[in-house]
Structure 1
């Protein structure tokens, strides 16, 4: 903590970095560092386990996609940690926008794969889909569709809409794209995403709870010996990750949009940055699987 001392504070003042003060930066450095270390550990351990098992299931393929997404995000985190230590950004606007886009693309792509796993298992439970009908090629094709469609939608929106105000880059600052929330099209885009994600999570969460309670009622007290129950519990775990890591960001986004008017508000920016950083905590999901919190067998 001594690294962030008076000289850095003076540098922060010179670059008008009051939007995220010392307290804000310490929280973000700690949070990103924990995610970086825990995420790398979880990725390595889960990758070894999955390649050792060589699973051909659809869910396992989706999980490999999630591991790839986590790996991309983890590569970008040292840039963020370094920035909050030095309080300056010397890598240019394109790199700033790229690193910024990774954290959002990771959140939305990971959300899609989480939801795909949950819906797949619900369809199997309700006998709308037979596991025997699913081949690895189906999972690969589905994954490619998600990547291609998601990229065609996300990348143009982010690079054409977000980060158009580059005044903060002239002062060697980065990750301040919340400034674009004063624009009507950005507000509409954010509200649309919030409504879609919130609605989908509430519906899936309620359906998943009903399924789990039905299984408990039917299989009690030996439900943990049944693969179907364990599969639904793993789906519920993914939903919990969404609720804990992604929902706070979108819920606070509503408050942020309504109260951010372009005036500097360090508390508002602090909470917004923490909510953004919280989305990266989902990278610890694989650590939970390998650590035995949730059975990792896919």
Structure 2
């Protein structure tokens, strides 16, 4: 019998990409609402209770409301919003960091944010292995395609071709920061500097490190080897052997649900640049939701992914 899936917020960017990845998959049966009923609370509640698994592709407050509507149903939930990423009772849906088993047995799974996905992929394994310290003041420089900003930002970039770069988060209180700190096991919040460029999808997340100022004088090669060992069995995350001469974001990039990590070190070993390259709509959103869905249903985690 097919697993019944309801995507609450199926008309949004993340929801549409999830539906594309589910197309033709006979393991699942979609619980669908007509356009005139998809914002009707009673219709949504009924769909949430009919589904075996609900995927929430909603703004944060609407996601919290959906969880309340689902109470008493026994429906398992994957929340793609940021509403529950540091909440008690929720399993953080980053299999490569927390382990597939926890997700497989979870009732409530919170999908990671796109920027935190890149940051945590780089930093969490190194902190856990004690190669770099938990009490370091980490900085994150990141650039993303504009699709991660939702319909309003997509329209803004499409209607304003003169926009070449949008820097934001200058109040230093971006909602991704608690997620990064908690799931990397850090003592301090990160200094996060995000930006958006006129490419629809794709992102680079970079963490610069002053290795020579750290206790133990860690070397870039050690960081790379540690990451390669951590992801050795992953079919989704790859750690490159060599540093790239350049990294580009193309405005016509295809959807991709994997992620590549790079460790760039200078001669003498004082500095390093750790870089994660991923699709903000892939491993950063819809692809991650499908990966978690597969794991929760006991299926191979890469089924239906674009790799």
TM-score by length of 2: 0.30
Query: Which of the pair has the greater relative contact order for Cα pairs under 8 Å at 6+ separation?
Result: 1
Q: TM-score scaled to structure 1, two decimals?
A: 0.31
Higher strand share: 2
Q: Specify the structure having the higher radius of gyration (Cα).
A: 1
